[in-house]
Amino acid sequence: MSEKTNRFLPYMRQDRLPHIFCPGCGNGAVMNAFLEAMEKAEMDFDNIAMVSGIGCSSRIPGYINCDSLHTTHGRALTFATGLKIANKDLDVVVFSGDGDAASIGGNHLIHAARRNLNITMICINNNIYGMTGGQVSPTSPKGIVATTAPYGNYDTPFKLAELVAGAGASYSARWTTVEMENLVLSIKTALKNPGFSFVEVVTLCPTYFGRKNNLKTPTAMAAVMKANTVFKSAAERMSEKELKDKIVVGEFANKQRDELSEVLEKFSIENSGGKTAVNSAYETEF
Amino acid sequence: MAEEYFIQGNEACAKGAIVAGCRFFAGYPITPSTEIAETLAHDLPKVGGSFVQMEDEIASMGAIIGASWGGTKSMTATSGPGLSLMQENIGYAFLTETPLVIVDVQRGSPSTAQPTMGAQGDMMQARWGSHGDYEPIALSPASVEEFFYFTIKAFNLAEQYRVPVFIMADETMGHMREKMRIDEDRIEIVPRKRPELTDDYLPFKHVENGTTPMPAFGDGFNIHITGLTHDERGYPDTNDPETHSRLINRLCGKILNNRNEISSVFHQFCDDADTIIISYGSPIRAVIEAVLKIRKEGRKVGYIKIDTPWPFPEEQVIELTEGAKNVIVVEMNLKQMYWEVERILKEKTNVHFMGKIGGLLPAPDEIIYEVKKVEDK
C-alpha cells in the first residue's frame, strides 16, 4: 500500500474525505493550486473564509478546514459581498463553476467586478454542467455535444475572463489545469490584489464533457487542451479563424483602483467618529 | 426618557433597526419600501454600519445572510415583487439558521400591479413562499410607533431563535406620518450569543430548545454552513432520511414549541362580545374605530388585533372567541389570514370574511355595515 500523502492534507477537513470528484476531474488540481498559491502569497490560512454556490466546484470549500459558506446556485458572490463588508479583515475566497458564475449568477458576477470588493474568485470552467449530468453551459464551445444539446451547441460561449475584465475587475486572468505553474502564480497575484480578482481555470470533465465529445480518457482531454492553449500575447497576432477552438490564457486585467470595503469603512469611520460594526451582533449597547 | 417624533412609518422602521443594532443593510429600490433603504443609507454610516445597494433582491438577501455570518445584524426591505425574488435565499436562511430581518411593505399585487397602493396580499407568501417545510415569524405593525418597536422586536426574535423574521407592513403603514413616542424603558436588545469553542463543539447540535448559539466567521470555529441537509457538524448528509427528518423537525419545533412565547395579540371587548372582528396592520385602525362606534349603539362587538400573523396565535384566538357567535376577518386581500382563522374556528363559531383590494382601506362604516349584516341576518 502506498504511503503517499498530499502535503496539503493539514488544510483539509479530513473527516469529509474521500471527496465526490470523479477520476480525472480538474477540481482536485485547482484545490492544490489554490493551497500552494495561498502559501506562496503568505496568507494567514486561519483568516480565510470561503464562499461557494452550487455545482461540483462549489463543493471545494466544504473540504477545506476554514469558515465556509456553501450557498445557493449562482449567488455565492452576493453572500461574499455581505460577508466581506461586515468584516473586511477576512480574506474572502469564492469558488464557482461556469454554470454557477456565468449563467444563473452572471448578473452578480459583473456587478461584483464593478464594485471591486476585495474578493478572490476562482471560476473552474469545465464548459459543461457536471453535477446535473452534462448539460450545455454558457461557456460550452459552439458545436459540442451535451445532454441538452444533442445535435451540437448552437450558442456562442461567453469569454469569462474578458467579460469580467470589461466589467471592471482589477484583476482577471484565464489559465488551464494543464499548466499549473502559471495558474499558481496567477492565484497568488489574485490573492494579493486588493480588489475583485477573477481567475478562470479551464478544466476537464471527462465524465460528461469527455464522454459526450469523443475524448475517451482524461489524458486524451488534457492533450487536446494543451494543444489548443495559446498565450494572450500570441493570440493578439492571430486571426479569428486561427483562434477557433483555442483557449487564450493570460492576464486580461491587472490594474488597481478604489476597493469597496476600504471606501465604506473610511466613510463609516469619518461619519461615526471612529465606530466600527465588526462583530456588533454580539453587543448589547448601541 | 421619552422622545416624540412626527415621522413616516418607513423612517420609523429604519430608526428601529438602528436602535436594535442593525449595522448592515442591503437592498434594491422598490416602491413603497424605498424610504427604509434611503434612511439607512443616510444613517448607517453614522453608527459605523454599512449600506449597499445590490443589483437585485436576490443579491440583497444573499448579502444580508453573508453579513449575518460576518457577525453583524442585518436587514433588507422590499415589496411583493422583491419578496418573490428573495424566496430561495429566504429558505437558505431558514435551513442554515441565519438571523436577519426582512421588511415587506406590501402593495397591490400580484405582479407589478399597484406600486403605490396598500394591500395585504403577501401574507401567505411570507408563510409558504420558499419551498419546503419551515415555520416563519412575521410581525404586522398597525401604527408608525409600532413599526419602530416591532422592528426592534423582529431583530430580537431573529437572534433568539436564529431565524429570518418578516415585518409584514403595508403601503399605508410605510408612508403614513404620525406621532411616535420612543420610551427608552420600552427598549430591550437581545444580543447574539457566541458559543464556546470546545473539542466536542457541534454547530448544529440537537439541543432541547432547538436553538444553538452562533459563531461569526473569523471566530476560529472553522464552521461549514450549507443549504444541503446537514448533520450536527454542519456537514452535508443528504441521503439519510433520519438526518433530514431530525433537522427539519428541530427547525420547525423551535418555533412551534415556543409559539405562545413568540405570538401576541391585542384585544378589547372580547369577554361579552357576540361578534369579534379579527384584523392586523392598517385595517385594524378602522376596525377599532368601528367597534367603538357600534358599541355605542348597544351591540356587543369586540376585536382581536393580530400582532404576529406567523406563527398564528392559535390558542389566544380560540380562547378569546369562545362564546362569540360570529367572527369577521377583515383584511386587504381576497382571503389569506382568513383561512387560518377558519381552520381553527370553523367547528366553534361562524367565520365571515370582509376583504378589500384595490388600495383603499376599509372604512369604519363599511365594517359596521358588515357587522350588522352578519348579526341581523
Peptide bond into B213 cis (omega under 30): no
* Residue B139 confidence (pLDDT): 98
Residue B326: pLDDT over 60: yes
CB atoms A85 and B52 under 8 Å: yes
Does the pLDDT of residue B197 top 60, yes or no? yes
pLDDT at B143 (0 to 100): 98
* Whole-number average pLDDT of chain B: 97
Distance CA A66, CA A191 (A): 16
> pLDDT value at position B262?
98
**Cβ contacts (< 8 Å) between A105 and chain B: which residues?**
none
Instruction: State pLDDT tens for residues A55-104.
Output: 999 999 999 999 999 999 999 999 999 999 999 999 999 999 999 999 99
Q: How many Å separate Cα B50 from the centre of its chain?
A: 23
| CA-wise closest residue to B155 among B68, B79, B225, B78 | B68
Q: What pLDDT does A257 receive? A: 95
The answer, for A279 touching chain B at a CB cutoff of 8 Å, is yes
Tell me which residue has cell 419551515: B134
The parts of chain A modelled with pLDDT lower than 70 are 1-3
Mean predicted confidence (pLDDT) in B122-127? 98
Rounded CA-CA distance A181/A54 in Å is: 27
Residues facing residue A230 across a β-bridge:
A248
Q: Do B66 and A107 touch (CB under 8 A)?
A: no
Residue keyed to cell 372604512:
B363
Contact B224 A61 (CB under 8 A): yes
Using the structure block, give the residue that is written with the C-alpha cell 452550487.
Answer: A54
Query: What mean pLDDT, rounded, does chain A reach?
Result: 96
Closest listed residue to residue A134, CA positions, set A56, A235, A51: A56
In this prediction, residues B71-91 reach a mean pLDDT of 98
Query: Are B46 and A271 inside 8 Å of each other by CB?
Result: yes
Residue, of A275 and B283, whose pLDDT is higher: B283
Distances (CA, A) of B134 to B130, B252, B348: 9, 6, 28
Tell me which amino acid residue B168 is.
Answer: M
Coil, strand or helix at A227: helix
**3-class state of residue A147 by DSSP:** coil
CB contact under 8 A, A82 and B216: no
Cβ contacts from A onto B, under 8 A: 192
pLDDT of residue A276: 87
For residue A268, list chain B residues with Cβ-Cβ distance below 8 A: 44-45, 48-50
Any B CB within 8 A of A16 CB = yes
What pLDDT does B377 receive? 85
Q: Give the model's pLDDT for residue A2.
A: 59
DSSP-based three-state secondary structure for B181: strand
Distances from the Cα of B53 to the Cα of A20, A272, B32, B37, B136, angstroms: 37, 20, 16, 8, 26
- % of chain B exceeding 70 in pLDDT: 100
Q: What is the DSSP letter of B195?
A: P
Which domains, from first to last, does chain A contain? Answer: 9-257 (3.40.50.970)
